[in-house]
């Protein structure tokens, strides 16, 4: 005998029991007089005491008030974000890195609580954020042709040794190379036609630094040169032949994750996001919020989305596997139709027998 199909309330109740973070409804508890998000950490109520509502106004119209633990209206979260954004502005405008205590006092929180909030919302610690600010200042000064020693001082590093102590940490290359726009580096490139249109691959001695497709070759090479304006760009189809074959094969019929040696250049946070993208299993997708949660930064969703958009090695760092919270396709540099095609092919390959 066929079992009756679950009702909408049955589905919502299971989401409450699972403490699902990705649901577009609220539940109320009649014995408590409060309404919550499905992911509320509070103990689930008895089924007979649960009521479901589409949004906060509907729950409040029924006489319920917002839970203080899960903050379903987002008021506490908005205050916390404002405090962290104020601290970020303080870091941006300071000549030297402010102390954690000064930042916490400015935001109105205790040090340890502020540190946790900053990591959740910004995705990095205040120290890492401050270092990225200094890195941007240094990069901008070098791009203007400022002498390395002067640029280092203006950026707030104090001495050149601080910049060179961890090669690539702040710029992805040495300050001298950054000042020269990549001068002294050679980017090998290869072109091909693929099922997704024109395909351009760029590689340094460290690995693949660019994969672009679906635009004309002039636009793709322009994008690559924008990253390395003074680097020597040299066509090397033979040297990249094996890599190109692997990428073309993947585009035509993906059967497994695309594994290539990569030269990923970005901030510490960006690289962390790109590494998280590479951990999304082949044939699966994640929402931006789920990706942020997997990185233990549930409130850094917007920062995660920005880092995904700054990925220069599409396919190898599979930003196409990130979708909207409701499963819908979201923005993709190479077009939503191509994103849909990639996801459908990966799902089909994952579901087919070996």
Per-residue pLDDT of the chain (354 residues; tens, 9 = 90+): 566 778 889 999 999 998 887 778 999 999 999 999 998 988 999 999 999 999 999 999 999 999 988 999 888 888 888 899 899 888 887 777 889 999 999 888 999 999 988 988 887 788 888 877 776 666 655 555 554 445 454 444 544 444 444 444 444 444 455 444 555 688 999 999 998 899 999 998 889 999 999 888 988 998 888 877 778 899 999 999 999 999 999 998 888 888 889 988 777 678 888 999 999 999 899 999 899 888 887 877 888 888 888 888 989 999 999 998 888 888 888 888 899 999 999 988 887 544
Judge contact between 69 and 40, C-beta under 8 A.
Answer: yes
Q: Indicate whether 247 belongs to any domain.
A: no
**What is the total count of domains within the chain?**
5
Chain segment 30-81, per-residue pLDDT in tens? 999 999 999 898 899 999 999 999 999 999 999 999 998 899 988 888 888 8
From the candidates 67, 209, 308, 319, give the one annotated as an active-site residue.
319
Kindly give, in sequence order, each residue whose CB lies less than 8 Å from that of residue 215, ignoring residues fewer than 6 positions away: 197, 198, 334
Asked if 211 and 283 sit in the same domain, the reply is no
Domain that holds residue 36: 11-66
Q: What is the pLDDT of residue 143?
A: 54
DSSP, residue by residue, 37-103: -TT-SSPP--GGGEEEESSHHHHHHTT-EE-TTT-TT-HHHHHHHHHHHHHHHHHHH-SSPPPHHHH
Q: Indicate whether 22 belongs to any domain.
A: yes
Q: Is 319 a catalytic residue?
A: yes
Q: Is 40 a catalytic residue?
A: no
Q: Indicate whether 248 belongs to any domain.
A: no
CATH of residue 342: 1.10.10.10
From the candidates 36, 67, 70, 209, give the one annotated as an active-site residue.
36
C-alpha distance from residue 76 to each of 71, 81, 111 (Å): 6, 9, 18
Q: Indicate whether 257 belongs to any domain.
A: no
Q: Point out the domain boundary residue: 19, 35, 66.
A: 66
Q: Indicate whether 154 belongs to any domain.
A: yes
Gap between the Cα atoms of 228 and 240, Å rounded: 19
CATH of residue 15: 3.40.10.10
pTM for the predicted model, two decimal places: 0.57
Asked if 53 and 99 sit in the same domain, the reply is no
Kindly give, in sequence order, each residue whose CB lies less than 8 Å from that of residue 100, ignoring residues fewer than 6 positions away: 111, 114, 115, 126, 127
Pairing of β 232-235 and β 186-194: parallel
Asked if 231 and 294 sit in the same domain, the reply is no
């Amino acid at each position: 005998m066929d079992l009756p199909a679950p009702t909408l309330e049955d589905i919502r109740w299971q989401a409450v029991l699972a403490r699902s973070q990705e649901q577009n409804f609220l539940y109320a508890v009649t014995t408590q007089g409060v309404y919550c998000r499905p992911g509320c950490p509070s103990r689930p109520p008895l089924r007979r005491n649960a009521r479901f509502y589409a949004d906060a106004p509907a729950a409040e119209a029924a006489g319920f008030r917002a839970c203080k633990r899960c903050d379903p209206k987002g008021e506490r979260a908005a205050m916390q974000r404002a405090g962290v954004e104020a601290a970020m502005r303080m870091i941006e405008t300071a000549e030297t890195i402010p102390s954690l205590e000064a930042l916490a006092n400015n935001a109105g929180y205790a040090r340890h609580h502020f540190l946790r909030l900053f990591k959740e919302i910004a995705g990095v610690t205040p120290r890492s954020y401050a270092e990225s600010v200094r890195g941007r200042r240094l990069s901008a000064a070098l791009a203007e042709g400022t002498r390395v020693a002067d640029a280092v001082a203006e950026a707030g590093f104090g001495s050149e040794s601080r910049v060179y102590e961890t090669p690539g940490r702040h710029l992805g290359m040495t300050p001298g190379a950054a000042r020269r726009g990549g001068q002294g580096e050679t980017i090998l490139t290869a072109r091909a036609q693929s099922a997704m249109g024109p395909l351009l691959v760029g590689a340094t001695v460290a690995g693949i630094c660019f994969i672009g497709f679906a635009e004309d070759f002039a636009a793709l090479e322009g994008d690559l040169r924008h990253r390395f304006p003074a680097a020597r760009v040299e066509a090397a189809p033979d040297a990249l032949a094996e890599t190109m074959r692997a990428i073309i094969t993947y585009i035509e019929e993906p059967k497994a994750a695309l594994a290539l040696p990569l030269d990923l250049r970005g901030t510490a946070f960006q690289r962390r996001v790109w590494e998280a993208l590479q951990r999304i299993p082949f044939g699966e997708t994640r929402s931006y919020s789920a990706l942020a949660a997997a990185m233990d930064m549930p409130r850094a969703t917007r920062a995660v989305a920005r880092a995904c958009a700054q990925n220069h090695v599409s396919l190898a760092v599979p930003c196409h596997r990130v979708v909207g919270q409701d499963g819908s396709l979201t923005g993709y540099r190479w077009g939503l139709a191509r994103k849909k095609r990639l996801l459908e092919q990966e799902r089909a390959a994952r579901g087919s027998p070996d």
